[in-house]
Homo-oligomer: A and B are copies of this chain.
Amino acid sequence: VITLNIDIIISADDIKLEKVKNKTVLIIDVLRATSVIITAISNGCSSVIPVVTVEEAFEVAQKDRGNCIILGGERRALKIDGFDCSNSPLEYTKEVIGGKTLVISTTNGTRAIRGSIGAKTILIGALINAKAAAKKIINIGDDLVIVNAGTYGQFSIDDFICSGYIIDCILKQTNAVISDIAKTAQYIYSENTDINGFVKFARHYNVMKKLNLEKDIEYCLKKDIVRVVPEYKDGKIEHPLKEAL
């Protein structure tokens, strides 16, 4: 049985290099960036390039015209002008994304991924791949910092309870030493294993409901429907079987 330390950073704004160095970082943005990335990769997307600005997205697409590019993402939860897809995971079907490169720009998720550069391993997690993420983290065996993307620099309840679920999965299989914030997340999950009952308190959940994005919410709050745990490396997230695609 291995022992690993587990901590949480509650928003993209609070990432510090010394907190992630030499560790496994798991980026979580349940509503919806990491749910989108996991879905895209799971549906055969060959690689995902997270960018911060819209201009950067167009530049990358311009440079890389040899590959089939899909531009995806959001600003204020809505599709970006000139982009192919919004930030709805339901749009990233096998037909749309299979074999293609996704250039994605989202408000919080992309900043969290970019901010974590310097970690030993950067993995992409959400509720839809939570158990698989826990398994991969244990296999790697390094200390874990879960980075919650949050919403505009603020703590977000949906990311926090997802962190709690993943910590709960890890604790069932290891002697993890968890920080006070990691314990709090795991407690919140253990009292609300249905997820929905607590996520309804999240501000961003209510913003999305007002935008009629209930189907996205329903999908993103499903546990463990995907087995892939994407890894960010050298500026992109590649499909684990890219050569075979």
Contacts and interface: CB of A to CB of B under 8 A. Distances in A.
Nearest to A19: B153
A90 interface: no
A154 interface: yes
A203 B154 CA distance: 25
Nearest to A198: B187
Contact of A180 (B7, B154, B181, B183): B154
A204 B10 CA distance: 20
Of A10, A14, A155, A156, most buried by chain B (CB within 10 Å of CB) is A155
Q: Looking at chain A's contact residues, is the secondary structure mostly helix, strand, loop, or mixed?
A: helix
A67 interface: no
Contacts of A59: none
Contacts of A188: 184, 187-188
Contacts of A198: 187
A92 to B, nearest CB: 27
Interface of A: 7, 10, 14, 151, 154-157, 160, 179-181, 183-184, 187-188, 191, 198, 201-204
24 contacts: A7-B154, A10-B10, A10-B155, A10-B181, A151-B180, A154-B179, A154-B180, A154-B181, A155-B179, A155-B180, A157-B180, A157-B183, A157-B184, A160-B184, A180-B201, A180-B202, A180-B203, A183-B201, A184-B184, A187-B188, A187-B198, A187-B201, A188-B188, A191-B191
